[in-house]
Amino acid sequence: MVQQAKDQQPPNGKQHSNSNENFPPSSSSNGGALAPASLQAASPQTMTLTADKNKTKLLKCHCDICKDENFVCETDGLCFTSLTREANGSLKYSYSCKTKKYDLADRLPLSCLTSKEKSTSFMIECCSTDFCNNNKLLTLPTPAQEDEKLSLSVFVILTVTIIVLLAVVVMFVIFYGRRKRNSGARQILPEDSVCGASYPILNGHTTIQDFIEMTTSGSGSAGLPLLVQRSIARQIQLVEVIGKGRFGEVWRGRWRGENVAVKIFSSREECSWFREAEIYQTIMLRHENILGFIAADNKDNGTWTQLWLVTDYHENGSLFDFLTARCVDPDTMLEMAYSIATGLAHLHMDIVGTRGKPAIAHRDLKSKNILVKSNLTCCIGDLGLAVRHIVPTDTVDIPSTHRVGTKRYMAPEVLDETINVYQFDSFKRADVYALGLVLWEIARRCNVDGIYDEYQLPFYDVVQPDPTIEEMRKVASIYPLYAMVVCVDQQRPSIPSRWIACETLHAISKVMKECWYQHPAARLSALRIKKTLANLR
């Protein structure tokens, strides 16, 4: 552009040689005299200076390609600096002039703007002062920075999307669950519905005794249909807490004016609830010395799901509670012992038939799991840890662990883990060992001529009367000591000398000693104990 400007300048001497062409000759008619020679020589220079002043001032810029012009260019437009990222990643600066083609007032031309698509590979900036582009530094964002921005945007979008989807799924699950529960509740028909005629238990005049007769009548009855059980459970009103067990609370409830016991499991103990309900509904299990099962149901209280097990209610409570508060006479002692042995013998019995009863072992027999009825006989409850004998395969449906129940009542072979868990008779013999300890608890509270012992748990003199979980877990404390007492020293609960003077106590002491032999095979069977106690009545 500088060269072009030079080419446009007239060569030396030409301007003066053509001065007569630029200035017309003086007319002789206008005065008739010629201008002075000095004025004629000065006039062309004066006119040239005036023309130069009228020219537009050019902008000087740094130019990296103008080597011949000392790296300087002139323009009527703008100076610019550009930065380009080459294919190999190197950066290249360019400096030059940009000609003004259009009058854009104060706005920059489009060629001075960097497009967003090329923001990582090309950048340009324009300026409008002399040498304003000299050593001007530009910065291109790296592709990694752009990727980070993109990744962050994608991450935020994905996170929000996932949260929204999860919220939708949760709302759908809650809605579907409530709808399912409501539809399930609608399936429970009212008492005056057609179903009431098919199931008399649903009419308003049925009592608990009618219910028991219905479940015991017929061949191989296993209880009422599930529909009736759920209807009963949803008509129960809870009154008060009467105890707390391993898996939940026990409440006294009211059903049509009668008391029932409601064992409430938390939803975490669903397997225990299902197992106990399943055992209670075993075909031909119902017996007067087995806690009467009424219904099982799951109920939603609005916050969590409760699992209910409804059974007969006995106001005397457990045998443990009864013996703690009261003593018994010899006849009552025999009736209690006989009823417990009868219930255990029924559990252990294998009734053969097309709809027979499998043999069942309790595995947690103790005074707290035995209830005292109003006539002072007993019934066995809490069958959640029971196992059944599968006759066709001669196997035991036992969970993976066999060391369950209460340590105080565990047989020696259970404590030292020598029990044969694949043979069902092993569990029956362990039950008999626990039965002997229960008989000892009853005998201590037998009042003979005004003399009786205070209630104590078995082995009260060698272990804690009510050991806590923390004490049980101590390595060298209760459990190892008890194992040593029972398995090594072969100690058993002491027999008071006064029992020898009473014929009944002396006879029952012989029975309990035969229940807790060290060798399992030497122990009496539950049926044999039942017959022996029957002869003492």
Distance CA(100)–CA(109), nearest Å, equals: 9
The residues carrying an active-site annotation are: 364
User: Which tokens belong to 43?
Assistant: 């006039």
Order of strands across the sheet with 78-85?
Answer: 91-98, 78-85, 122-127
Distance CA(442)–CA(445), nearest Å, equals: 5
| CATH code, domain carrying 478 | 1.10.510.10
User: Which tokens belong to 158?
Assistant: 């994905």
The answer to whether residues 468 and 492 belong to one domain is yes
Say if residues 114 and 82 touch (Cβ distance below 8 Å).
Answer: no
pTM of the model: 0.60
Bridge partner list, 262: 251, 310
**Region of residue 140 (phi > 0: left; psi between -120 and 50: alpha; otherwise: beta):** beta
* Positive/negative CA dihedral, 293, 297, 300, 304: positive
The answer to whether residues 375 and 514 belong to one domain is yes
The CA dihedral of 30, 33, 38, 40, to the nearest 10 degrees, is: 40
Question: What is the predicted pLDDT for the residue at 191?
Answer: 39
Question: What is the predicted pLDDT for the residue at 46?
Answer: 47
The residue among 430, 478, 487, 488 whose CA lies nearest residue 457 is: 478
| CATH code, domain carrying 280 | 3.30.200.20
pLDDT tens per residue across all 537 residues of the chain: 444 444 444 444 444 444 444 444 444 444 444 444 444 444 555 454 444 545 568 889 999 889 888 999 999 888 999 988 888 888 888 999 988 776 565 667 777 876 655 567 888 889 889 989 887 878 887 766 556 666 788 888 999 999 999 999 998 888 877 766 554 443 433 433 333 444 454 555 566 666 666 655 544 455 666 666 777 778 888 999 998 877 788 999 998 888 999 999 888 888 888 888 889 888 889 899 999 998 888 887 777 788 999 999 999 999 999 999 999 999 999 999 999 999 999 999 998 877 789 999 999 999 999 999 999 999 999 998 999 999 888 899 886 544 467 888 888 888 877 889 899 999 999 999 999 999 999 999 999 999 999 999 988 887 776 654 344 333 223 334 444 455 544 567 888 889 999 999 999 999 999 998 889 999 999 999 999 999 998
The answer to whether residues 260 and 337 belong to one domain is no
Inter-axis angle of helices 424-444 and 526-536, nearest 10? 30
- Split into its structural domains, the chain has a count of 4
Question: What is the predicted pLDDT for the residue at 116?
Answer: 58
Distance CA(163)–CA(170), nearest Å, equals: 10
Decide which of 312, 341, 362 is a domain's last residue. 312
Distance CA(146)–CA(154), nearest Å, equals: 12
Distance CA(7)–CA(10), nearest Å, equals: 8
What DSSP state is assigned to residue 290? B
Say if residues 201 and 224 touch (Cβ distance below 8 Å).
Answer: yes
Decide which of 103, 127, 151 is a domain's last residue. 127
Tell whether residue 263 is among the known ligand binding residues: yes
The answer to whether residues 351 and 272 belong to one domain is no
The answer to whether residues 279 and 155 belong to one domain is no
Distance CA(454)–CA(456), nearest Å, equals: 6
The residue among 63, 81, 84, 83 whose CA lies nearest residue 133 is: 81
Task: Write the CA distances from 15 to 20, 45, 49, 169, 231, integer angstroms.
Answer: 10, 9, 13, 93, 124
Query: What helix, strand, coil percent values describe the chain, rounded to 5?
Result: 40, 15, 40
Domain annotation covers residue 434? yes
| CATH code, domain carrying 92 | 2.10.60.10
What DSSP state is assigned to residue 357? P
Decide which of 282, 312, 342 is a domain's last residue. 312
User: Which tokens belong to 398?
Assistant: 């036992």
Domain annotation covers residue 299? yes
Residue with tokens 């920075």: 145
* DSSP, residue by residue, 88-152: TS-EEEEEEEE---S--TTSPPGGGS--STTTTTEEEEEE-STTTTTT----PPPHHHHHHHHHH
Query: ∠ CA 44-46-48 to the nearest 5 degrees?
Result: 70
Question: What is the predicted pLDDT for the residue at 214?
Answer: 61
Domain annotation covers residue 254? yes
* Positive/negative CA dihedral, 200, 203, 206, 208: positive
The answer to whether residues 306 and 327 belong to one domain is no
Domain annotation covers residue 29? no
The answer to whether residues 421 and 512 belong to one domain is yes
The answer to whether residues 308 and 329 belong to one domain is no
The answer to whether residues 307 and 280 belong to one domain is yes
Rg of the chain in Å (alpha carbons) = 53
User: Which tokens belong to 252?
Assistant: 């006294």
* DSSP, residue by residue, 14-41: HHHHTHHHHSPPPPTTTTS-PPPHHHHH
The answer to whether residues 387 and 439 belong to one domain is yes
Domain annotation covers residue 54? no
Domain limits for position 111: 59-127
Domain annotation covers residue 173? yes
Domain annotation covers residue 46? no
The answer to whether residues 213 and 345 belong to one domain is no
The answer to whether residues 350 and 261 belong to one domain is no
Domain annotation covers residue 206? yes
Task: Write the CA distances from 433 to 350, 358, 456, 485, 496, integer angstroms.
Answer: 20, 21, 18, 15, 19
Task: Write the CA distances from 523 to 183, 372, 425, integer angstroms.
Answer: 54, 26, 11
